[in-house]
Structure 1
Amino acid sequence: MVFRLEYPNTVENLTADSTDLLKFSFKIENSERPHQAMVVFQSQDEFQDEIMVAASVRSSGKGRFELNFAKADRKFKYGTRKYSMTFLLGGFTIDEPFKYTLGEIEVQAPTVNPATRPSRVEYKSQPEIHHQFRPDQKLINKAISGAFTLLVLTPFAALFIIWSQLGIKFEPLKSLVRKPLDLVAAIVFFASLIGIEYVFYSYWTHVTLFPVLRYLSVLSLVAIVSGRSVLTLVQARRLQRTAGSAKKQS
């Protein structure tokens, strides 16, 4: 069966079965050439199934469409149904796609191995989800925590006691007192170290990561500059002491 259509005419009383082949040729007489064409089949029942089949189109405006119902979409086999056929054309320079309703076609269900429509999915509200947060972690008793803190500080206390018994003298500190600039460098160096330790303590207790990185970048630079001066002074004093010992032995 052959039909010849001119826009906007439609085709009527068109039927097909599972063994038929539907062919459709067209020609676009327009300066704007389309780049994509398709035919949309929509079932005229409660399901409103849509089946899109691409059509080939050339730069000359000629194109063709071919549909083998035996190898077509499975939805065509869900019983005998009527479908509306809509021809769509689109392109890169076309703002609104061209739409042409070709008519209706009745596709009969196959007599052998008919397809079974899957059960219709019904969407409904589900029971409300109540999120439960994990309970807060139990902390160690303050008395136990304090006891272990004192236990950690015990070696430092023992170290200072042993130093006092041995009579250790901090002679480099005396030499620093004689030179104000070196004394300032030493104070800045030890203060920067204390500041770094305090930043670590703050990060452990209440400060977030990014402020900690900002503070550490400044304190580390101060510690490097002032520490270099202090270590240079200590090295010079050590070399001076070594030279004095060598003179006494000679």
Structure 2
Amino acid sequence: MLSRPLALLLLVAAAQASLLTLHAPRVTTYDSTGNGIRTEILKLTQKPAIPMAVGPTDSLKLTFQIIEEGDDSGKGVQPLQTFLRFYDPHTGEEGIQPLRVTAAGKAKFDLNMAKPPLSIPPTSKAPLEVTLILGSPKHSPVKLALFDIQLPESQPAPQHPDEPSFHLLPTIEHTFRPTQKVPARAISALFTLFALAPWGVLLVLWSQVFPGAPRLFSPSILPFTASLGAFELLLFWYWVDLKLGQVLLYGGVLGVVTIFTGKTALASIGARRIARK
């Protein structure tokens, strides 16, 4: 007596070995009045040589029954999954249409070109290949090439008024201004001397006030000299980085300091004049 695991393996192998096939597969095309145009009894070993042509006002009907291969009792099988696949070999477009199968294994598919299903892919001048796909846990999977179908060529989709906005726009090309010309070094040096000239004038005036060597570094005059130098540094900083509001703020603070240091320096100069007299 076979063991239970071995019996289960044999049962599964026998189930997988059984194949599904079709009984009496038939496809018919009809015109707009319902009159039949063409009927084909499908052979599973070979597709019809001429595609089934369906015009804009025509329809098509496919009927068949799913049975086990070699079973002549006429008992149908209801697979777990049944699909029709429409495939365009030229464009690679495809569509999958699920089919409803009864408990007796009978199924049908109606195609009305007045309202085609969404599973039909975009069509071209080339016919579509129609394939039946069957899936069942108790049987081996089946893929049957049924026939080719010639459908009217798809019309291009209407253009949306905002469609051009989603296309690539021309590249924006920015023209930069030419590189700023730098003046000659001689001219830069000349204007540097003009900028430093007030300090020369200040030194000359101080030499007139103090005969002999100027006492710029005396404790009473040095703060005033430093405040004037701070103004020069502030102007240079403004030229490099600062904004006008910042310059006015810092300049106002330095102005107050310069006023007090200037009064101190003038008082010191006056006291020395009095002492000389």
Same fold (TM over 0.5): no
Report TM bin, short chain: 0.3 to 0.5
Q: Could you tell me the TM-score, scaled by structure 2's length?
A: 0.36
Give 1 or 2 for the bigger CA radius of gyration: 2
More helix by share: 1
